[in-house]
Chains A and B, each alone.
Chain A
Amino acid sequence: MRNEPTPQQIAEEKIYRTFGLNDEEYARILELMGRQPNYVETGIYSVMWSEHCSYKSSRPVLKKFPTSGPHVLQGPGENAGIIDIGDNLAVSFKIESHNHPSAIEPYQGAATGVGGIIRDVFTMGARPIALLNSLRFGSIEGDGAENVRNRYLFGNVVAGIAGYGNCIGIPTVGGEVVFDERYTHNPLVNAMCVGIMTHDEIAKGFASGVGNPVLAVGARTGRDGIHGATFASTEDPHSKERSAVQVGDPFMEKLLLEACLELIATGEVVGIQDMGAAGLTSSSSEMAARAGSGIELDMLKVPRREEGMTSYELMLSESQERMLVVMKKGREHIAEEILSKWGLEAAVIGRVTDDGMLRLKEGDETVCEINVSTLVDDAPVYHRPSARPAYLDETLAFDPAAVAVPSDLTETLHQLLRTPTIASKEYVYQQYDYMVRTSTIVRPGSDAAVVSIRGTRKALAMSTDGNGRYVYLNPRVGGQHTIAESARNLVCSGAKPLAVTDCLNYSSPEKPEIFYQFEESCAGISEACVALGTPVISGNVSLYNQTNDIDIYPTPIIGMVGLIEDTDHITTQEFKGAGHPVLLVGPQTTGAIGGSEYLKVVHGKVAGDAPALDLTVEKALQDAVLTAIQSGLVLAAHDLAEGGLAVALAESAIGGKLGATINFASGQRLDEALFGEAGSRIVIEADQANLDALERIFNENGVPFAVIGETGGDRLTIKINGEAAIDEAVEHLEATWRGAIPCLMK
């Protein structure tokens, strides 16, 4: 029945190469096994040793992340990290990429990305309460074939995220979308899930207790997604078949979610893990490796969608909505009863052993026997060569004097507000159900989303952030920026930042200059995490994001979660009322043109250094603003990001449907003062009566600030050194900002 190459053929014809294993790796397998692996075994090694599963290029770098803290209950290494938020409550979260599948089949690629990250969180015992995402596409402006394709990818990725999240009933509360030519053939689709549980509900992926039954739970195994993990680790996903992209079934996952949480609550589950990338292979070997045990499976008992499936196919399938569960011996029936109530199957397919082997049988015949630790712990580790990219000499040589200050700065502001990266993302988030579960307090479109926790006065703030251009121009400082901006966004909402999940998207690590970007930016991330007290508790790496000769920008995406102690502290960015002072908090004159969205959009240049950032200043700023918010002194707070001060003010004005008159002195160029970018800056609106108290807090923390104007009227007027640089009706700014993306997508 089976028509598979023999071990000899695999060796002689070097068939392992088509699985993504190189000659050295195959030689290492021979050494570890002491014999030639058969077809199933070769397949299992190839997926477990793929970049996607083994992190063989990135592991030495990832090890340097700070991962501990008094509030960290589970760091990296599990399906998702967990932090303590007091009151016996814990929060689990993780972000993950689905870039390569989305490049081929955007709807299903994005949908299954959402499905996968939800499983990672509920497998920890947490009830998923929020989804976020971070997306990158090529330019959607223009009529070129690539622009048309980018619009197709954008529209369908958003629809895929909506289709999955809306159906399963977990609100998609926030995220970000950036458009840049560098992502034309490599869209980035990173999805994050946040879940909540009590401490006693925490579950883990452990296969322990000799003789305990191993169950396959949820959907049956089909022939879809075979070798998905290997495919995610190749340079040109377009050369692969669409059949390697899985198809999602959110209804199935909703049933699986409810059934698994009900099952975990019985206390009879020993360990549980999602069958995600590399399906049954990775879930069984990782669960055994964590527990130091072995697993024996009878492949004939694995529920399947069609007859004639081989053990190879069953082990490598990435069919969605499946879990591997180890129950206490004799308690299998509990799983069967609960799953059956939800219309799902739970089949005993094997048992836990103590010999450290992953043993697969077809009835009495043993078809695979691999030492589990060789799959997980002995996976190759590559210390890739690193070299400073040559382009940096050119970009760092940028002289702002080479570009002229535009004559009509009001028009420049319109131009920025019209840029899809800055423009309103309402087109996107109005397709997401962001209100289901009735806990979403701050909806998409703000610096961070805020979700309340029923039965307490607490709330969680969460955001996703990244700036690939900054990282490209200065990997070290760019890495720091991603963390600093994420934390700043949470602080603006009234939260204390607690922990980080990262999704590290880069091109091929085999290119020394790309590895340099990777290594340096991760070092920057680590430095900022230490400075701001936010450890990394989970994450994912996506490499080989390149097509032809175009590398994506090095794009680490940071998902961050913070705690709001009292819902009274929740703060949003829009102006709240007329006659209130507007303050710029943080360094006043650090805004620079280099690396800015303004330089790219208005002058068509990606050049200069990453904007200035001093982590000590950043920490002081965030502490001061959070203290001010918690003291009830802040009406609105908004982080300065792409587009600088002018765009931040415009967004606060548009959100509040309220104008402002800003007037400050500056020795900077007008475009620098208005649109220059830098870290550590926040605009706040406050009551006149609270200015003294604010001044005390800022002085105590050594944070510079200035009152730069006042809210009121229906125009945004910005005067610099007494002269009006920008003067426009807020409703006109709003029309530009709100209308841009719908107009392009028509």
Chain B
Amino acid sequence: MRFAVLVFPGSNCDIDAVKAVEDVLGEPVDSVWHTETDLSQYDCVIVPGGFSYGDYLRSGAVASLSPVMGAVKEHAAAGKLVIGICNGFQILTETGLLPGVLRHNDHLQFRCEISELRVENTDTAFTNDYEKGQVIRIPIAHGEGNYFADQATIDQLKANNQIVFTYHGTNPNGSIENIAGICNEQGNVLGMMPHPERAVHELLGSADGKAMFTSIFRTWGEKHGA
């Protein structure tokens, strides 16, 4: 299985995503510069966290216009896997691959801590190694993670079981319905504010993110008979 980790000017969690794929799965993973227009050789694309283009405009707004995002749309349309983490989630909402927006945290400060998430949907390619309702500890680090969508969209997300993670206990940013991560209708594109790639070793304070990578690999293996 081959992973691509996109690198925009200003990405800074790209290395962490590469290390997580290497350490958890040992599968091949490439850093892919934002000018690339062909992602056909990859099975899973990770849009990493950071401050693409400084995020001086709306977070993710400039990166969503990068050449590589056209290829990401094709990749998603082909049913292959895309994960947007933190700034990556913001980029995916800006490109329209996921509904809704990410606003400033309600307390208006950047917030970094290990947060507790509830796994709401284990029927996705990203979460089938978790138990439904399982509470996991995954770090957050963002200033604009306050997910919002209009009521019709929220109803649709619920109806289609697209809410994948919610904050358990304290909601760190004021997101609607405590949403921490959602997927698209087809279930092959995931966006989440928390950083699973930061929770892959006990030494880092939690290894609860590993199951996301093993889920992805298992799903791919089942599909490809590996």
Contacts and interface: CB of A to CB of B under 8 A. Distances in A.
Interface residues of A, number: 31
B112 A432 contact: yes
B203 A433 contact: no
B190 to A, nearest CB: 20
Nearest to A169: B12
Given A167-B54, A438-B20, A443-B205, A251 B141 contact: no
Most central of B20, B200, B205 by chain A CB within 10 Å:
B205
A437 B9 contact: no
A434 B54 contact: no
A254 interface: yes
Contacts of A310: none
A431 B143 CA distance: 9
Interface string B31-51: 000000000000000000111
Interface in A214-273: 249-252, 254-255
A343 B54 CA distance: 13
B16 to A, nearest CB: 5
Contacts of B13: 169, 436
Given A168-B12, A454-B19, A438 B51 contact: no
A438 B19 CA distance: 9
Given A169-B51, A251-B9, A438-B204, A431 B16 contact: no
A103 to B, nearest CB: 23
B19 A166 contact: no
B203 A567 contact: yes
Contacts of B15: 437
Given A438-B16, A438-B198, A166 B204 contact: no
B16 A433 contact: no
Given A436-B13, A436-B141, A251 B20 contact: no
B113 A430 contact: yes
A440 interface: yes
A375 interface: no
B197 A438 contact: yes
A435 B112 contact: yes
A430 B200 CA distance: 21
Given A342-B9, A443-B205, A433 B54 contact: no
Given A251-B54, A255-B9, A431 B111 contact: yes
Given A430-B113, A436-B16, 5 more contacts: A255-B9, A433-B110, A438-B20, A438-B204, A440-B204
Interface of A: 159, 162-163, 166-169, 249-252, 254-255, 342-343, 429-438, 440-441, 443, 452, 454, 567
B93 to A, nearest CB: 20
Most central of B16, B110, B112, B141 by chain A CB within 10 Å:
B112
A433 B55 contact: no
A638 B112 CA distance: 25
Contacts of A166: 51, 110, 112, 141, 143
Contacts of A162: 110
Interface residues of B, number: 31
Nearest to B197: A438
B113 to A, nearest CB: 6
Interface string B3-17: 000000110110110
A164 B108 CA distance: 16
A434 B205 CA distance: 12
Nearest to B204: A438
B112 A441 contact: no
Nearest to A341: B33
B139 interface: yes
7 contacts: A166-B51, A167-B54, A168-B12, A251-B51, A254-B54, A434-B112, A435-B198
Contacts of B109: 159, 430-431
B195 to A, nearest CB: 8
B55 A167 contact: yes
A169 B50 contact: yes
A403 to B, nearest CB: 40
Interface in B184-204: 195, 197-198, 200-201, 203-204
B156 to A, nearest CB: 33
B9 A343 contact: yes
What 10 pairs across the A-B complex have the smallest Cβ distances?
A169-B12, A251-B54, A167-B51, A433-B141, A438-B16, A431-B110, A433-B112, A251-B10, A441-B203, A162-B110
Contact of A251 (B16, B56, B200): B56
B54 A249 contact: yes
B220 interface: no
A250 B56 CA distance: 10
B10 A254 contact: yes
Contacts of A437: 15-16
Contacts of A255: 9-10
A433 B10 CA distance: 15
A458 to B, nearest CB: 13
A441 B13 CA distance: 17
A460 to B, nearest CB: 14
A251 B53 contact: yes
Interface string B119-153: 00000000000000000000101010000000000
A169 B51 CA distance: 8
